[in-house]
Amino acid sequence: MRFIDREEAARRLSYERCIPVRAPDDDRVLARGNQAAILDGLEVMERKQAHKMLFANLAEIAPAAELQEMESEIKRLLNLPPDQKEAEAEAVFRRLAVLCADQLSRKYPR
């Protein structure tokens, strides 16, 4: 097993550099809080369809039905009015994070 440093991990997780990734020890990111990060995530999903790149990378390890369900949930979220979109975004992002973590933990067990 080869260990990688934080910068390499951030580079790999940046969805081919479409999503700006900041170092986890950056105080500005922590001070902004989860809601600002979620709004940033919504923006890159709307503008660059970043979630589709994520699903393409997960396609080899995740069940197709789970990915399709999550993709339709994100599509529904992105089509909501702005106020409702912001109100529901955190729950969708939590489910997306759990899906990714579950699938990646199966691919890369400890």
Residue labelled with tokens 């997306």? 96
Q: Provide the pLDDT confidence category of residue 95 given band limits of 50, 70 and 90.
A: very high
pTM score, two decimals?
0.68
Residue 56 located in a structural domain: yes
From 22-26, 30-34, 59-63, 101-105, the region with the lowest mean pLDDT: 22-26
Residue 83 located in a structural domain: yes
Residue 99 located in a structural domain: yes
DSSP state of 63: -
Percent of the chain with pLDDT over 90: 55
pLDDT (tens digit per residue) in 45-91: 999 999 999 999 999 999 999 999 999 999 999 999 999 999 999 99
Residue 1 located in a structural domain: no
Contact 107, 99 (CB under 8 A): no
Residue 86 located in a structural domain: yes
**Is the torsion defined by CA of 18, 22, 28, 34 positive or negative?**
positive
Count CA within 13 A, CB hemisphere, residue 66: 16
Residue 10 located in a structural domain: yes
Q: With a cut of 70, say whether residue 3 has pLDDT above it.
A: no
Question: Can you give the residue range of the structural domain that contains 86?
Answer: 6-107
- Mean pLDDT score across all residues of the chain: 79
Phi, psi of 21 (to 5 degrees): -115, 130
Residue 18 located in a structural domain: yes
Residue 53 located in a structural domain: yes
Contact 71, 92 (CB under 8 A): no
Q: With a cut of 70, say whether residue 12 has pLDDT above it.
A: no
Q: How many domains does the chain have?
A: 1
Q: With a cut of 70, say whether residue 32 has pLDDT above it.
A: no
